[in-house]
Structure 1
Amino acid sequence: MVRTGLIFQVRIPSKTDKPGGSPVKQVAKENLLPAPTLLPTIHELDLFKCFQSVLIHLQMLWELVLLGEPVVVMAPSPTISSETVLALVSSINPLKFCCDFRPYFTIHDSEFREYTTRTQAPPNVVLGVTNPFFIKTFQSWPHIIRMGEIRMAGDLPKQVKVKKLSKLKTLDTKPGIYTAYKTFLHKDKILIKRLLKGIQRKRPSEVQSAILRRHLLELTQSFIIPLERYMASLMPLQRSVTPWKTPPQIRPFSQDEFMSTLDHTGPQLTSVLKGDWMGLYRKFFRSPNFDGWYRQRHKEMTQKLESLHLEVICDADLLSWTKDKSEVEIVDLILKLREKLVTRRQQLQVKDGVLDKLDTFINSIIRSLPEDLQTVLNTH
């Protein structure tokens, strides 16, 4: 039976969205009757429901995701499988998870043979599965999370234990985290006590999730802020950007130089967690998540340099510069400026009017050239 008269309000995520961005909000000005049903995005998961049986291992799970380790989530249903995988991936917001993840992976997926082979190391992917067949197939994987049924009762959920991979043998294996991984950082016992006490006091799951999400956000920010600060120091000084030269290069990222900054500007400034932060950074440098973060930040900084270069060019007296230059040099300048306009108009964020001003400059220079050159340049 199909029901009519229902209004759904959704927001399709776009490429420009930041991880963990604000959820869809109902528009107050529209008096829609009946009131629209809001469909949540994957960023609005009930984190507490997903993690309630592994609260004491949150630090381990966060590190595994941060480092892009191969993880298999074995769950009793596709819903639990999908929600757990998405919760894991979102646990490192606002850092983008740059590895592959499959909320519900089956034997019919095209990568099944590749992911289950024992002749090579497992790929950097988080898989969610339900088929008991996978217990035997994925025994060579380093980290396996076996989930039980999710119960949101008022009593304390039973916390799963960390077990050796060798014990993952039978089809009736009990819930647990099967891994030999040792965390770099210590557990946040205060957070765990707070969440467990919240269960006893029947604190709403939404509130528990908000506490959990904030903790994970602050933890990730404490880790990423030193990297952001160091990356910013690699940017050339603005005064080194001149109109007649190509923009200066961004200094290369030096892991050793970055590590030397941690004593004074490290995560200990914003996080109370103790442990081997340096060891965690060293392993992070070898992960796809670092590679993805670095490439994105380098791209943004390069575009910023290009924007500054365009603005400096527009502030320069281009017509005066061309007076003692040969026609070849002037044509070369015009072609380069045009290339910047064409390739950068959609990519760069520059001050209002800069691109239009540059376009005017180009036309002025062209008009100062002989008519035959003007004709050639105006037809290209």
Structure 2
Amino acid sequence: MTEDATIHKSKRFSNGFLGPSKTAATNAEVPVPWSRFSAWLECVCVVTFDLELGQAIELVYPHDVKLTEKEKTSICYLSFPDSYSGCLGDTQFSFRLRQSVGRSSSWFGHEDAYNRDAPVTLQKEHAHFHGYVYFRQVKDASVKRGYFQKSLVVVSRLPFGNLFHSLLQVIAPEYFEKHEPWLETVCNEIDQWPAPVPGQTLNLPVMGVVMQVQIPPKVETSGGSPVKQPQTEPSLTAVLIDLHVIRCFQSVLIHMQMLWELMLLGEPVVVMAPSPTVSSETVLALVSAIAPLRYCGDYRPYFTIHDSEFKEYTTRTQAPPNVILGVTNPFFIKTFHCWPHIIRLGDLKMSGDLPKQVKVKKLAKLKTLDTKTYIYNFLLCNKGIYTAYKTFLHKDKSFIKRLLKGIQKKRPSEVQSAILRRHLLEQTESFILPLERYLESLMPPQRSMSPWKTPPQIRSFSQDEFMKTLEQAGPQLTLKGDWTGLYRRFFRSPNFDGWYRLRHREMTQKVECLHLEAICAADLLTWNKDKSEVEIVDLILKLREKLVTRKHQLPVKEELLEKLEQSIQTIISSLPEDLQTLLHRQ
């Protein structure tokens, strides 16, 4: 599930500077400055190269954004390609960084309703920032080093790569010419955008262009119970950064089964690439390969030796963490040679010819001793997947042939990408479906819901019990292999832990929803007849608490809630006047 961003010209906006309108500035619906801006972005940064300091933040907008020194340092280093990348002209890529400890999850500290309605793969991050970079490096005789080097960086908690890269394509070239006044105008326009709402088509105007965005909804509600998330055709939506995932995987198509399993199991993976564009696109494509399942390990589309987690991720005193790292510096060949899975890639250029498929190689072949040799190997050769991993499932050879044949016949890359995404989606859904069926069996029966008792408990997940269900309700795909072994390995992965925690929370909400429905449908007036005043007041207080805390969180029919409210008022009216007065005040 991904965000869809398309851009078209708007007749309402000119291409010149456009400040906030008086209507927007005085809009009573926006009492907090930058509240609409912060629904989309954390801030916009300008990073430049200083001869004495190196990379340095030149500007942060809005000016009152509170970034810690650690976050500023990370943004500085992650916003520039390293010297080996040789990026001339304009380059776009992305990164992801850990937020400093103690930072609040949002500017205003309120629970964000967006995450309740958005697909898990598009939810706001509470512990990480996403950075989207537009880097320019061009020759400039007026600069001492001979080059103009600067990055415009959009920092957000939202993983809307396609949208924010499109935004940068609109604003960055103009910013490099017009500087801070232009950026201030852009930010004021963003502060007039509507809030991101899943299920709605939103028009986002910026500097004469309107970006149209549709965020798919997480669930649809039917009656009082949540239903399964509807499928969205992958070919109709942009996938994190780029529709053309076939470009990222063109040289490893014959190994897609292995890559899918590595992502499913949350294995430590290093992607070594010639540029931050290649590394970031590939890492994000890998993470999205198991959609609609959320990748719950850490991932860094672009990782440098200056990263604050460098020591944490490169220590050799313990096993590598569950993280995917995209790197471009040859130094990492020595640093990560002991990691279990390393992918070495070249440029992502679709030539129209059948791309050479890289081989799976032994990790020992990646080790080099001579500095010049390993830099040469990094830049020019030794492309491949270095791993000892053996897949649990066999390759789908007919599918691989279909993709390779499509390349030979020059099938459009959009179509190729859609075919690949559909295949990965069906494989993930087939894997998850038996787990979903088993979870349903853990739910208490609806007939056990009593309005006069606490909600019944959900049964505990038993791996052995689940394994027994595979004989009758296993994966529907015809892929042969050790499905049981794959599930057992999955149970030890961060992806299972994250998936189960989320689903258990959703199931708990469903039980509470059904319990609230049972209360709403109960005859409270009859129950009230033979009860003491203390019992009645206690019931009223509990019902009110349940209404207040659950009304906006659970998909219960509005008429049921109104009926319950009326019943509460009727019960209150039957009490003595002093109690009525007391209860009405609360």
Change (3 A) 1:225 1:162: same
Same amino acid, percent of matched pairs = 71
Aligned pairs for 1:202-281 within 5 A:
202-267=410-475, 270-281=476-487
Distance 1:335 1:169 in 2: 69
| Structure 2: gaps of 5 or more residues | 1-13, 19-38, 42-113, 123-161, 164-198, 214-237, 369-373
Residue 184 of structure 1: aligned partner = 392
Aligned pairs for 1:95-106 within 5 A:
95-106=293-304
| Structure 1: gaps of 5 or more residues | none
Conserved 8 A contact 2:268-2:339: yes
For these two proteins, the number of residue pairs brought into alignment is: 372
Distance 2:212 2:537 in 1: 57
Aligned pairs for 1:38-77 within 5 A:
40=238, 42=240, 44-77=242-275
Distance 2:247 2:264 in 1: 21
Distance 2:295 2:40 in 1: 19
Q: Which moved more, 1:167-176 or 1:94-103?
A: 167-176
**In structure 2, what residue type is equivalent to 1:255?**
Q
- Do residues 82 (structure 1) and 280 (structure 2) align? yes
Change (3 A) 1:44 1:247: farther
SS at match of 2:251: helix
SS at match of 1:191: helix
CA shift at 1:359, angstroms?
2.0
- Structure 1 length normalisation: TM-score? 0.90
Residue 184 of structure 2: aligned partner = none
- Structure 2 length normalisation: TM-score? 0.59
Change (3 A) 1:341 1:37: closer
Distance 2:339 2:297 in 1: 16
Give deviations 1:81-123, integer Å, cap 9, x for gaps: 0110010011011111111111111122211111111112221
- Do residues 288 (structure 1) and 288 (structure 2) align? no
Structure 1 segments, 4+ long, off by >4 Å, are: 11-14, 23-27, 34-41
**In structure 2, what residue type is equivalent to 1:62?**
W
CA shift at 1:352, angstroms?
2.2
Distance 2:337 2:384 in 1: 14
SS at match of 1:53: coil
Please identify which structure carries the higher strand content: 2
CA shift at 1:373, angstroms?
2.6
CA shift at 1:141, angstroms?
1.6
Give deviations 1:298-355, integer Å, cap 9, x for gaps: 1111111111111111111112112212222222212211111111112100012222
Distance 1:360 1:288 in 2: 46
Conserved 8 A contact 1:20-1:43: no
SS at match of 1:185: coil
Please identify which structure carries the higher helix content: 1
Change (3 A) 1:86 1:310: same
Q: CA RMSD in A?
A: 2.9
Distance 2:583 2:493 in 1: 48
SS at match of 2:561: helix
Residue 15 of structure 2: aligned partner = 4
Residue 147 of structure 1: aligned partner = 345
Give deviations 1:259-296, integer Å, cap 9, x for gaps: 101111101xx211100000000011111111111111
Change (3 A) 1:255 1:54: same
Residue 18 of structure 1: aligned partner = 119
